[in-house]
Chains A and B, each alone.
Chain A
């Protein structure tokens, strides 16, 4: 059901409901008032007639009969029926001797009387000399009541239909901004991420459109980032793959030293491919927000010592200082191992050869902090880019994911990664709250 129809039905139902109750109330009130008015008329007529008869001498009442009977003979059975009878029950005069029952014995006051298919409302006044009965047909009363109802109810009923039509039109106009918005959304292609622009949007719809546009913008940004990532990942994976394939092809075509060299190059590219895949998997795990539980508190000093022993790089350049050590339980050791490996790898790879790499770490207090310092010339222009995914500088093997992974881990654990370069000393600081 359309919103317009729904709103119209709802408002019309309420409106008609109220109108119906008011009408029933009015009809009930009208019926009662009419009944009282008609009864008053019967009573007044009876009293008036009684007063008239009181001024007629008793012995001359008979002279008046023909006139009354004559009046009766006019033959109209509409209007009031009047019957004068003696106290003994003999009819003295009646203007409707045909349909009104003359033999009825009526007590003083109001009562109903049925005669055949007719029903009467009567008022009987009994004086010392005679009995006066004034009667009204109930059917006539009802007819009058219905005619009155018709004349009262028809104009409002017509007004209701006009009102409903106006309501349908007004609701249509009122919800037209919603209809325009629906149309604008309906017209969009599945890949259309442009903002919705409605110049006639009402104040109430503005937040909805703004939120929709913000969502679209975030979605577009996400898709662009995703595409960029996929494109970069494809590039990074294809480069060593090309190296492997072309060197294998070369090895197939040649022999001797050239072939051996080609095979060595294949191995080199395979190692690089493996490292890139490892990094991508780590990044995917961190990005996917897979939360690793800290099974038991671990030692930062032990972790760094083990890492240095495992590395196949020149560790004589590395100086490690661990201050205020206490067991860590705020972040899994695996995450810090990834952080340390990436920062150490970067420090050794990008530093000036044979210059020291200094590692300072502490896990006491409010933060767990790792600081790596090495001699490297990173320009101020490049500093903001170092955490960008796939960003690399110079001819160094690597996918440009190391610092990006560390930055993502810092973000996931509500920490921070800062990079600085001061007089050719490149400082990377990773910290997470304990």
Chain B
């Protein structure tokens, strides 16, 4: 999952980023609303973790702005206030969930999965696509109940396609998923990972839409 983390406290942001990266996610960190706005306009994120008190404004107001611009990404707010009013205000203004500081990193992860599951209309943390099953908790892929071993980057790419089964993902978006918003990425690195993924899961698991990007293919047809 490609996560936008908006948090001005470096220590907290570092802990969340490192933890989520270890869990196979790519985290892009912004320290202000201004930086977050620039990132959201240039990349497609799966989820957003947002601190309420930021140096250049209030996170809740930013969510209102996001919704007014039709950004539908799920937002989990982090707040140091445990007052009901603050929580209600956040949820009313478009936040999807909240966590009160201090929080447990495992709870944060569970809530992120829950948000993504709800956003994808799934009932469990297992994504099924034909004969392929992806367990988000274990980060393991099965085809016909046989475990398929994937590298971290292949795993990230597969998660992106499975989370957006109908969408055509551009090369730029897929690079963001793998490397965040870094610019210095080798141009053929993405193709290598896609090639490996097709090799392990079937040649038609990823369809190339010429001139646009890539889309999840039908797994039954690609089974070898």
Interface residues of A (CB under 8 A from B): 231, 234-236, 238-247, 249-250, 253-254, 258, 261-262, 265, 268-269, 392-395
Across the interface, do B12 and A239 meet the contact criterion of CB distance under 8 Å? Answer: yes
B80 and A247 form a contact (CB under 8 A): no
Q: Given known contacts A244-B11, A258-B18, A395-B55, what 11 new A-B pairs fall within 8 Å (CB)?
A: A240-B9, A242-B9, A242-B80, A242-B103, A243-B11, A245-B104, A246-B105, A247-B14, A254-B18, A394-B55, A395-B8
The distance in angstroms between the C-alpha atoms of A238 and B83, with both chains bound, is 14
Contact, CB under 8 Å: A249 / B104: yes
- A241-B18 in contact given A235-B80, A265-B11, A395-B31 (Cβ < 8 Å): no
Question: CB < 8 Å: which of B11, B16, B22, B105 contacts A240?
Answer: B11
Query: Which residue in B18, B31, B102 is a CB contact (below 8 Å) of A238?
Result: B102
Please report the total number of B residues contacting A with Cβ < 8 Å: 25
Residue of B nearest to A239 (CB): B9
Q: Is the CB of B22 within 8 A of A238?
A: no
Please encode chain B, from 1 to 29, with 1 for each CB lying within 8 Å of some chain A CB and 0 for all others.
00000001111101110110010000000
B92 CB-CB contact with A under 8 Å: no
CB distance from A231 to the nearest CB of B (A): 6
Q: Does B81 contact A (CB under 8 A)?
A: yes
24 A–B contacts from the bound complex (CB under 8 Å): A235-B53, A236-B80, A238-B80, A239-B9, A240-B9, A241-B101, A242-B9, A242-B12, A242-B102, A243-B9, A243-B11, A243-B12, A245-B102, A245-B104, A246-B15, A246-B103, A247-B14, A247-B15, A249-B19, A250-B15, A253-B19, A265-B11, A268-B11, A269-B11
Chain B's closest residue to A270 (CB) is B11
Task: Knowing A253-B22, A254-B22 are in contact, say whether A392-B15 is a contact too (CB < 8 A).
Answer: no
Q: Determine the residue in chain A with the shortest Cβ distance to B83.
A: A231
* Chain A residues whose CB sits within 8 angstroms of the CB of B32 once the complex forms: 395
Chain B residues near A249 (CB, 8 Å)? 15, 19, 104-106
Q: How far is the CA of A225 from the CA of B172 in the complex (A)?
A: 49
Q: Which residue of A lies closest to B13 (CB)?
A: A243
Task: Give the residue among B8, B15, B22, B106 with the most A Cβ atoms within 10 A.
Answer: B15
In the complex, per-residue mask of B45-83: 1 if CB is within 8 Å of any chain A CB, else 0 = 000000001010000000000000000000000001111
